[in-house]
Structure 1
Amino acid sequence: MNYRLPKSERLHAERVIKELFSEGSSFFLYPFKVIFLRKIDLVGQANQVLFSVSKKKIKRANGRNFIKRRFKEAYRLNKHLLPSDGIILGFIFVGKAEMSFAEIEPKMIQALNKLSQELFQNPLST
Structure 2
Amino acid sequence: MYTFKKEERLCNKKLIDGLFHNGSSFLCYPFKASWMLTDGEQQFPVQIVFSVAKKRYKRAVDRNLVKRRMREAYRLNKQAQLYNVLNSSGKKLVLSISYIGKEISPYEFFEKKMLKLLTQLAGEVVK
Which residue matches 2:20? 21
Which residue matches 2:77? 78
Seq. identity, %: 39
Which residue matches 2:107? 101
Asked if the contact 1:30/1:94 (under 8 Å) is kept, the reply is yes
Matches within 5 A, 1:46-85: 46-80=45-79, 81-82=81-82, 83-84=86-87, 85=91
Which residue matches 1:113? 119
Q: In structure 1, give the amino acid aligned to 2:20.
A: F
Matches within 5 A, 1:20-39: 20-39=19-38
Equivalences, count? 120
Q: In structure 2, give the amino acid aligned to 1:98.
A: I
Q: In structure 2, give the amino acid aligned to 1:11.
A: L
Task: Give the TM-score, by structure 2 length.
Answer: 0.89
Task: Give the TM-score, by structure 1 length.
Answer: 0.89
Asked if the contact 1:32/1:93 (under 8 Å) is kept, the reply is yes
Work out the CA distance in 1 between the residues paired with 2:18 and 2:4. 22
Structure 1 runs, 4 residues or longer, greater than 6 Å off: none
Work out the CA distance in 2 between the residues paired with 1:3 and 1:19. 28
Shift of 1:86: 1.9
- 1:54-108 deviations in whole A, cap 9, x for unaligned? 0111110110000000000000001011124321000000013321101110100
Work out the CA distance in 2 between the residues paired with 1:14 and 1:50. 11
Asked if the contact 1:58/1:97 (under 8 Å) is kept, the reply is no
Question: SS in structure 2 opposite 1:37?
Answer: strand
Among 92, 95, 115, the residue aligned to 1:89: 95
Question: SS in structure 2 opposite 1:3?
Answer: coil
Which residue matches 1:124? none
Asked if the contact 1:67/1:97 (under 8 Å) is kept, the reply is no
Higher mean C-alpha deviation, range 96-105 or range 52-61: 96-105
Mark the runs of 5 or more structure 2 residues left unpaired by the alignment.
none
Shift of 1:50: 0.5
